[in-house]
Structure 1
């Protein structure tokens, strides 16, 4: 089990699919809820070695 304030206790396995000329992955509902992601939100993504990190962009005041 992963511990920490911002950790989910499970891993999700999702498929990479081709949509048009882009590769896409679906963010599981549980992750969206945990990150408070809603349709239209912007996320920041970067890689750290072999990990993909996704973070909800904070709204500017």
Structure 2
């Protein structure tokens, strides 16, 4: 998320989230402002990658029915 400051420059925003236990897994909630900025919706599929000690989430493109 990169809102503009008073000079028109983009400034990154960092938000915090908490992991919660669901069954035998941990759930991470993506804050609403992030979902709105990235147009994420319930049911979207994401890939989860680990790179350099970071978790990278990327939206998977939906398959087009032929």
Q: Report if TM-score (shorter chain) is over 0.5.
A: yes
CA RMSD of aligned residues (A): 2.0
Structure 1 length as normaliser, TM-score? Answer: 0.75
Structure 2 length as normaliser, TM-score? Answer: 0.71
Confirm or deny that 1:32 pairs with 2:47. Answer: no
Structure 2, unmatched stretches of 5+, are 3-9
Q: Which runs of 4+ in 1 moved over 2 A?
A: none
Structure 1, unmatched stretches of 5+, are none
The 1:53–1:16 alpha-carbon spacing in structure 2 relative to 1, beyond 3 Å, is: same
Secondary structure of residue in 2 paired with 1:23: strand
